[in-house]
């Protein structure tokens, strides 16, 4: 694909100056058997490559473009902020307003610290948990991805799974040994580990709805059990809502499932597509962070005026009545249509959706409930599906182990157009 295009030429040049030609590994598209397409601009539900071809975009910058690309209220807010300068290294009123809005929307958050990425948020939350509890170990779940900090690259799903990497060189064994990984949706394993090592565990970190092994719904009662067990042993519970925060509702997954963590990590959406992240929780915990407390964390660009302006505009739109009902309806329409395409062609493909995010697990018919089941998917079939959809103008994540996202810009007409393409692609897959 793309052998004699401007995009192909850019990729050749990129490989000379950037490792693998990309600045984030999954973008390399190796697992789907093609070179990456270089993008130039985006508008509404569309993203356009450097050769001028448009695609209905379900990557949505890996989730944050929930309003669609270049939403006029967001771009107007960023342009207004830009006129006043890009960075001050000093407090601004917008970061206070954004922090207040986040705390009002997310039920477990009494205070919040803005940072620059989801990885920075999760890394900082773990440091805070260790400092607050005086314990060293953390517990995570197989296939949940929490960024590329050393403590998290143990059975991390997402990009490392896409590339077939079990962990990562460069992570000292001493650090890796402090991370315990157990299967998601496995109450027995969870109980056994906490029974044996609970007094040494500072925090359990979890994607309440994993989206980095593909979208996996927590089984009934699993998150509530996790909350109960951690509370009993004095372990902090951290919800990594970098993807689910403001994606599954104003209150995120914790409001949707009515389970309150001690700390929450956010990213992506709260910056309207600009680099931003946040972590927050109960006041007594957050006041251990410098300058109030002894646990240090800092960032020159944290709360910068462009990201906070975009975030305020985005969350203001999301706060309007009917927004999440609309997203739910459109995502359900896409889910049901894709399921029908699979059923009509006899192709094994399990569509799993929570809210406006979903994954097509090829080679699967029953529910995917954990990372091991996700790994049994037919990645070669997904790769064919990806390439054929891309050729027909529909952009999906270049990995079986990622999510597709629906935005407000994906109107019924665009969903129907996508399903028309998908019907033809599914029929091609059986030839």
Catalytic residues: 145, 240, 268
Please list the alpha-helical segments (H only) found in 156-221: 158-162, 173-176, 187-197
DSSP 315-382: HHHHTSTTHHHHHHHHHHHHHHHHHHHHHHHT--EEEEEETTEEEEEET--SPP-SHHHHHTS-HHHH
Pairing type for strands 277-281 and 349-354 reads unpaired
Pairing type for strands 277-281 and 111-115 reads antiparallel
Query: Distance between CA atoms of 40 and 407, rounded to whole angstroms?
Result: 20
Query: Distance between CA atoms of 31 and 378, rounded to whole angstroms?
Result: 12
Q: What are phi and psi of 231, to 5 degrees?
A: -65, -40
CA atoms within 13 A on the CB side of 431: 7
Q: Are 57 and 46 in contact (CB under 8 A)?
A: yes
Q: Are 236 and 262 in contact (CB under 8 A)?
A: yes
Q: Tokens 């519970």, residue? A: 237
Contacts 24+ apart (CB under 8 A), 156-159: 156/212, 157/210, 157/212, 157/213, 157/371, 157/374, 157/401, 158/26, 158/212, 158/213, 158/399, 158/401, 158/402, 159/24, 159/25, 159/26, 159/399
Angle subtended at Cα 246 by Cα 90 and Cα 92, rounded to the nearest 5 degrees: 10
Query: Distance between CA atoms of 406 and 65, rounded to whole angstroms?
Result: 9
């Amino acid at each position: 694909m793309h052998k004699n295009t401007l995009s192909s030429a850019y990729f050749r040049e990129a490989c000379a100056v950037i490792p693998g030609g990309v600045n984030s590994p999954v973008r390399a598209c190796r697992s789907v058997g093609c070179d990456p397409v270089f993008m130039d601009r985006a508008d509404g539900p569309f993203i356009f490559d450097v050769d001028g071809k448009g695609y209905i975009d379900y990557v949505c910058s890996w989730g944050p473009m929930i309003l669609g690309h270049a939403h006029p209220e967001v771009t107007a807010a960023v342009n207004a902020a830009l006129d006043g300068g890009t960075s001050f290294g000093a407090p601004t009123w917008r970061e206070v307003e954004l922090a207040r809005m986040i705390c009002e929307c997310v039920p477990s958050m009494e205070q919040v610290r803005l940072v620059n990425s989801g990885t920075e948020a999760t890394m900082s939350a773990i440091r805070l948990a260790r400092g607050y509890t005086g314990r060293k170990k953390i517990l995570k779940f197989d296939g949940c991805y929490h960024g590329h900090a050393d403590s998290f690259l143990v059975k991390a799903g997402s990009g490392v799974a896409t590339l077939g990497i079990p962990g990562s060189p460069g992570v000292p064994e001493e650090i890796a040994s402090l991370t315990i990984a157990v299967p998601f949706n496995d109450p027995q394993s969870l109980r056994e580990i906490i029974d044996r090592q609970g007094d040494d565990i500072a925090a359990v970190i979890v994607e309440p709805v994993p989206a980095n092994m593909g979208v996996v719904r927590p089984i009934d009662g699993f998150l509530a059990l996790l909350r109960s067990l951690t509370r009993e042993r004095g372990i902090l519970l951290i919800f990594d809502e970098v993807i689910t925060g403001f994606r599954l509702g104003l209150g995120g997954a914790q409001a949707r499932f009515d389970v309150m963590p001690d700390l929450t990590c956010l990213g992506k959406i709260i910056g309207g597509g600009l680099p931003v992240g946040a972590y927050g929780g109960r006041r007594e915990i957050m006041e251990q962070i410098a300058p109030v407390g002894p646990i240090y964390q800092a960032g020159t660009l944290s709360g910068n005026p462009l990201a906070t302006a975009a975030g305020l505009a985005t969350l203001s739109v999301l706060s309007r009545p009917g927004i999440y009902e609309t997203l739910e309806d459109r995502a359900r329409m896409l889910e049901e249509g894709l399921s029908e395409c699979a059923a009509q062609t006899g192709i094994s493909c399990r569509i799993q959706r929570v809210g406006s995010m979903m994954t097509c697990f090829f080679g699967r018919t029953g529910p995917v409930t954990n990372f091991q089941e996700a790994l049994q998917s037919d990645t070669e079939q997904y790769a064919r599906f990806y390439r054929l959809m891309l050729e027909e103008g529909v952009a999906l994540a270049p990995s079986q182990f990622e999510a597709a996202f629906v935005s407000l810009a994906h109107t019924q007409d665009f969903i129907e157009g996508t399903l028309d393409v998908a019907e033809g692609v599914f029929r091609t897959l059986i030839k």
